[in-house]
Structure 1
Amino acid sequence: MNTNIAEFIPEDFDASSRVWIYQSSRLFSMGEAFELESMMNKFLQSWNTHGTPVKGYANLLYGQFVILMADESATYVSGCSTDSSVRLIKEIEEKFNVTMFDRQMLAFVIKDKIQLLPLQQIPYAVQNNFITPGTLYFNNLVATKADLLSKWLVPVKDSWLAKKFKLEAEV
């Protein structure tokens, strides 16, 4: 699995650009991905904040994560414009029968595939070595472009999970 996402992220967006990551409860099919791309492009064309167009970006990464980004060095994103992006995600949920707001479902790269695991099952997965300190984890709480590029896909040992579940670094 190629973990270098920089090639998919616009270079002309400020490092402090705001990022929202929505994880789907399943992979989107190729046909759904094309429909999703059309929905995101339509949204970006009309994404405004107080009548001013938002310098925005949207993409589906790894077939399962919708990434929205707004370059606030160009235009500040207001509550109303954030609400409109949430409406887009809810529309995606309804159209494709997926869940995009479940923060209790965590994503990992296991055997070169994205695997979802409920938060409450993490202790079992750690105890049985399904998840190790070196397992890659999708930290969907990153908030900026800089963090998306450097802290989104990280080893579990470098995430909040390490402290919560007492995962020690591999020797």
Structure 2
Amino acid sequence: MAIGITVITTANRARRFLQTDDAALEQTIDNLRRSSQMFGGKPLIIGSAGQTEVFARAAIACIEFEAARDLSAYVASPLNLELTLLTPEQLAEPFDGGFEGENFSVRIDFFFAGGHVLHTRAEGVRKAALAERLMNLTSFFERPVMNYRLAHGGVGLMNPAAIARFTICPGTADLPRDAWRAEPA
């Protein structure tokens, strides 16, 4: 098995790495199990015989792990939704989603400091209580990490501290009382 690792910084630069060594793979999987700590603490160091790269954790927007093996079981999902990265083909098509009964399917675009953008489909079960739904909406920025599935296998971790804003389409009627109501111009 191999894992392709892509580190996307807040400068909107992507660095790609490939792991094929079994011991290195297990260490990466162990780090995925502790993904809630991914963007805090010591720098992220990725090294080989040829070079060593050191990333300031606060300057990382996302880390993606591409693999044929399903890695989603190794990352905790504190949300009541599943985020999946949209392919360029899916982005070109009109989005078909909305709120239906207990379920929802929406598009969420995450805009990071530095210009990186993640286009995702979010699916899940709506919380019954309005307060819980509002908490989900307002607590994105407070989470230590958010995970998403890659369209062609693997998982990604995004750093909520690096998110400048996000857009949900279609919009939700459940807005906090102090939200500004306005249409895009």
TM-score (norm 1): 0.28
TM-score (norm 2): 0.27
More helix per residue: 1 or 2? 1
